[in-house]
Amino acid sequence: MDSEKKYHHGNLRELLISEGLKMLNAEGFDAFSMRKLATKLEVSHTAAYRHFADKEKLLEAIFNDSAKKFYEALIKSVSSIKDPKERIDKLGVGYIKFFVDNPEMLTIFQLGNHLNQQSPETATGDYFNAFDFFKGIAQQVPKNEVHKDLNDMEILIGYWGKVHGLACLLVSQREAFSELPKKQLNAMIENIVKTPF
């Protein structure tokens, strides 16, 4: 089988992660299983279990792979920008566009608390790095009239809540925005992000 050939070339682990993420979004956490995923990929159950001991270990890998891609996208969004206000704006746009382009990753992050309860080591590394990166940039932005009565944590929550809320809205209601040209959608995201919360 083609999938078995991919496995023998060392790609099964990556396939389990990428296809596992799709299955997780399509069927939900309770219906997700290693055996069902192996059947979909046309590989033996044993082959799948060689890479992940159980469902929780595979979910951890999916979670960490998604977190790594998210963190890298945030870094890239501000890599050439020095001005603090422009950095937080571009970071916000990068945050939203990441989830608009990768809507399935919202699901695995929403499972973070469940996974962390099952395996405390899950939510580590890039998951916290991404948050700390966002926090660090937000704290560099000079306070203005909108923020004068807010402390640092309230400002962080304001920035974070706006971009995460908009990302969730655009993903959950994507049919409502499906006819919007990409250029117009991007302009809308940028205008909202630039407007003080």
Residue by residue, pLDDT tens for the chain (197 residues) are 454 444 444 689 999 999 999 998 888 888 889 999 999 999 998 999 999 999 888 988 998 899 999 999 999 999 999 999 999 999 999 999 999 999 988 877 876 655 655 555 555 578 788 999 999 999 999 888 888 899 999 999 999 999 999 999 999 998 899 889 999 999 999 999 999 87
Please list the alpha-helical segments (H only) found in the chain: 2-8, 12-27, 34-41, 45-51, 55-77, 84-101, 104-110, 112-118, 126-139, 152-172, 182-194
CATH 1.10.357 fits 65-194, yes or no: yes
Domains 1-52 and 65-194 alike in fold: no
CATH for 1-52? Answer: 1.10.10
What is the model's pTM? 0.83
Sequence ranges of the domains in the chain: 1-52, 65-194
